[in-house]
Structure 1
Amino acid sequence: MRERQFLDTAIGAVNRLNQSLQDNIELIAMGEEEKDAEIVKEAEAAIREIKSEADKRQIETLLSGEADSNDTYVEVHSGAGGTESQDWAAMLQRMYMRWAERAKFKVEVLEEHSGEEAGIKSATLLIKGHNAYGWMKTESGVHRLVRISPYDSQARRHTSFASVWVYPVVDDSIDIDVNESDVRIDTYRASGAGGQHVNTTDSAVRITHLETGIVVQCQAERSQHKNRATAWNMLRARLYEAELERRENAANAEAASKTDIGWGHQIRSYVLQPYQMVKDLRTGIESTSPQDVLDGGLDPFMEGALAHRVHGGDAAVDDID
C-alpha cells in the first residue's frame, strides 16, 4: 500500500505538471493573439516554476537506493575548539531542523549534550518523511565554518569544524539480528532541559556494539524502557548503514572523511567573514547567501551531491545565488 501510494503520487504529479504546462502554453498563445503582455508574462513565470519543480522531481528519481525512502537519523558532533565548534554544531542542528520543516518532514530530538558555555557537544535527530534518508545521505562528513567569533573579545576570525553522520531508520522490511551478548548497555542521567524527573533518574540509555565499537544513545523519553527500545533501533540502523557502506566502492573514502573532524576532510565550507559564501567542495556548487543556507536552504546542495554521486562527478553543476 505504501508503494502504491508513492506511485500514485508520482504519476499524479507528472500529470499535473503536464496539464499545467499545456494550460500556460495556451495562455501565452492567447495573450500574444490579444496583445496582452501581462498574460504572457504571468504564463512564462508559471512555466519557469513548472521547470523548477520538474527538475526537482527528476533529481528524486535518483533516490532509488534500497533505504532511500526510509526515515533517517542525523548525528551532529562538534570538533576540537571548545565553545566555537560547539556553537557551530548547534547551528548545524538548527539548519537541518529548518530544512526538515521546509520539506514538511517531522523532527524529533533523540539525544542532545549541551556545551559548557554555549552550543552542543553532540545531538541526534530523527527525521521522518518519505525519502528523508535519500535526501540527507549526502550530508555525512565534516562541515567547516569561518567567521568573526562572537566569543572572542578581540573579534578575531575563527575556523570551526563539526561532523555530520546520516544513517537510515531500519523498517520492518529489513531484518537486522543483534544478540544482547554482543553489546554493553549503560544507563545514565539525562542532561539538559526536561524537568526534575529526567535529570534525577537514570533514564538515558547508551548501547555499545562490542565487535564494531558502534555507540548509540538516547535520552528523549522519561522512560528508560522507551529510550532502550529507541537505542536498539538506532543500533540496528547503524549496523545496516555500515553494511550499505561496505557495498559501495567509495566506502573507504567516506569512512575516512568521518574519522578526523578537521582540515582536509570537510565536504562543505560556510564563510561568513570576510566575505559571504557557502561552497560544496565535492560538486563546486556555491551560494552567496549563507544565511538562507543556514535557515534550511539546502536543496540545491543536496540535489547537486546526489547527481554527483550517481553520475560519478560527470554531472554539471551551476552556482546559485
Structure 2
Amino acid sequence: MQPDFWSDNRKAQAHMQQLNALREEVTTWEQLATQLKDLQELALMLEEEPDDDMQAEVAQSIHPIEEQIEKLEFALMLSGEHDEKNAILSIHAGSGGVDAQDWAEMLLRMYLRWADQHRFRTQIYDYSEGEEAGIKSATVEIEGRFAYGYLRSEAGTHRLIRLSPFDAAHRRQTSFAKVELMPDIENTIEISIRPEDIEVDTYRSTGAGGQHVNKTDSAVRMRHVPSGIVVTCQNERSQLQNREVALKILKARLFELEQKKHDEEAARLKGEHVQADFGTQIRSVIVHPYNIAKDHRTNHETSDTTAYLAGNVDPFIHAYLQEQASGVASPAAVAED
C-alpha cells in the first residue's frame, strides 16, 4: 500500500512473487488442517456407528494427506538464506576427452528433465558444443521456488565409468564433469561492480537459436578483471539482452566467490579442514561392468542408472539435505573416505 511501491518495478515484482509463494504455502497448510479436522470428525462418528465402506474411504483419504505432509516437512529443511531462489546451473566437461563432453551433455539433459518433472522453467543462456560430440560447457537458469535449495546438493565433480562409444576398441573409459550452482541473487543482494573492472567482447552466436544466430555479433563474453571470472551469453535476441543476462550471471558468480571465501575463513578459524570444491568427486555413475549411481557424501545409491539419468535425482537430493539437517555424516561414507 506504500505510494512508491511500484516505483521500482523489478523489486516490486520480486516482492509480489514472494508474497504469492507465502500465501500459497499458508493456504496449503490451512487446507490440510481442514481435511484432517473433517476426517477426525468422521472417525469419531464411525466409532459410534461403524461403517466398513466409510472406514475404508477414510483410510484411503489419509494416505495422500500423509504424503503431502511428508513433502512439506521435507521442504522445511530448505531454510538457507537463498534456498528459495532460482538456480543458475553451469556444467563443464572435465578430463576424459570426447567422453567427458558427452557426459557433460548427459548431465545437462538429466537436470533439464528433473526441472521439467518439478514444473520449473528453464532457460539455457550459454551452450558450447564439443568438436565431435557433447558439450564443453553450458549455463542454464532454473526458475522455481526452492530450485537453488534443492540443486545446491549437486555442486561438485561427477564421474562416469562406461564402455566408450567413441573408442574403436570399445574400452572402458572414466570421464568427469563439473557442476556449479549459484542462486539468482540479482534482485535481493547488491553486488558492486565497477564499469572499469569489466571487459566485454561481442561475437556471433553458434548453434541453434533462431534467425538472429550467425548474422549479428549479439553474443557477449564478459570478463571481470579483478577476479578473472568470465561469463558468456548467446541465447537472447539482442546484444543488449545478452549483456543484461551476462551481468546477472557475473553477479551470481561474484557472490558465490565471496560466500566461499567467508565459509573457508570461518572453517579456518574453527580449525576445521576445508576441502576444495573443484576436483572433489561427489558422485559416480557406473554402467559397466554393473549399474550403480552412488553419492560419496551420503552413501546413497541406486542400481537404476537409467531412471537416474532420466531425471530421477530427488532421492540423492533428499539424502544430502537430510544429512545436512542432521549434521551427521553417513558412517559408511566416512569409512569410505
Q: How would you bin the TM-score normalised by the shorter chain?
A: 0.7 to 0.9
CA distance in 2, matches of 1:279, 1:20: 39
Unaligned runs of 5+ in 1: none
Deviations 1:60-119 (A, max 9, x none): 112222222111110000112221111110010011111111111100010000111111
Instruction: Give the TM-score of the pair, scaled to structure 1.
Output: 0.86
CA distance in 2, matches of 1:181, 1:289: 51
AA of the residue aligned to 2:290? Y
Deviations 1:236-278 (A, max 9, x none): 11111222223335699777222x3xxxx21111122222211
SS in 1 for 2:142: strand
Q: 1:203 aligns with which of 197, 200, 218?
A: 218
Match of 2:3 in 1: none
Name the stretch that deviates more: 150-159 or 12-21: 12-21
Is this contact kept in 1: 2:85–2:145, CA < 8 A? yes
Q: 1:254/1:234 Cα in 2 relative to 1: closer, same or farther (>3 Å)?
A: farther
Q: 1:44/1:294 Cα in 2 relative to 1: closer, same or farther (>3 Å)?
A: farther
Q: Does 1:285 align with 2:305?
A: no
CA distance in 1, matches of 2:314, 2:273: 24
Q: 1:100/1:6 Cα in 2 relative to 1: closer, same or farther (>3 Å)?
A: same
Q: Aligned ranges for residues 166-177 of structure 1 at < 5 Å? A: 166-177=181-192
Q: 1:7/1:239 Cα in 2 relative to 1: closer, same or farther (>3 Å)?
A: same
Match of 1:119 in 2: 134
Offset at residue 195 of structure 1 (A): 4.6
Q: Does 1:231 align with 2:246?
A: yes
Match of 1:98 in 2: 113
Offset at residue 200 of structure 1 (A): 3.8
Is this contact kept in 1: 2:93–2:136, CA < 8 A? yes
Match of 2:12 in 1: none
Q: Does 1:190 align with 2:210?
A: no
Match of 1:11 in 2: 26
CA distance in 2, matches of 1:245, 1:230: 23
Match of 1:298 in 2: 313
Match of 1:132 in 2: 147
Deviations 1:186-241 (A, max 9, x none): 22222212256422432211111111121111111231111111101111111112
Name the stretch that deviates more: 117-126 or 282-291: 282-291
AA of the residue aligned to 1:307? Q
Match of 2:335 in 1: none
Offset at residue 183 of structure 1 (A): 2.0
Unaligned runs of 5+ in 2: 1-15, 333-337
Match of 2:71 in 1: 56
AA of the residue aligned to 1:80? S
Is this contact kept in 2: 1:24–1:44, CA < 8 A? no
Match of 1:276 in 2: 291
CA distance in 2, matches of 1:132, 1:304: 16
Q: 1:30/1:275 Cα in 2 relative to 1: closer, same or farther (>3 Å)?
A: farther
Name the stretch that deviates more: 134-143 or 59-68: 59-68
Q: 1:195/1:13 Cα in 2 relative to 1: closer, same or farther (>3 Å)?
A: closer
Match of 1:82 in 2: 97
Offset at residue 167 of structure 1 (A): 0.4
SS in 2 for 1:199: coil
Name the stretch that deviates more: 296-305 or 89-98: 296-305
Match of 2:176 in 1: 161
SS in 2 for 1:175: coil
Percent of aligned pairs with the same amino acid: 41
AA of the residue aligned to 1:172? N
Instruction: Give the TM-score of the pair, scaled to structure 2.
Output: 0.82
Q: 1:147 aligns with which of 162, 174, 179?
A: 162
Q: 1:23/1:293 Cα in 2 relative to 1: closer, same or farther (>3 Å)?
A: farther
Deviations 1:23-64 (A, max 9, x none): 66757995994445x973x76565444333322222211222
Name the stretch that deviates more: 187-196 or 131-140: 187-196
CA distance in 2, matches of 1:245, 1:156: 39
Match of 1:65 in 2: 80
AA of the residue aligned to 1:214? I
Q: 1:221 aligns with which of 208, 228, 236?
A: 236
AA of the residue aligned to 1:275? Y
Is this contact kept in 2: 1:28–1:44, CA < 8 A? no
SS in 2 for 1:108: strand
Offset at residue 295 of structure 1 (A): 1.4
Offset at residue 301 of structure 1 (A): 1.3
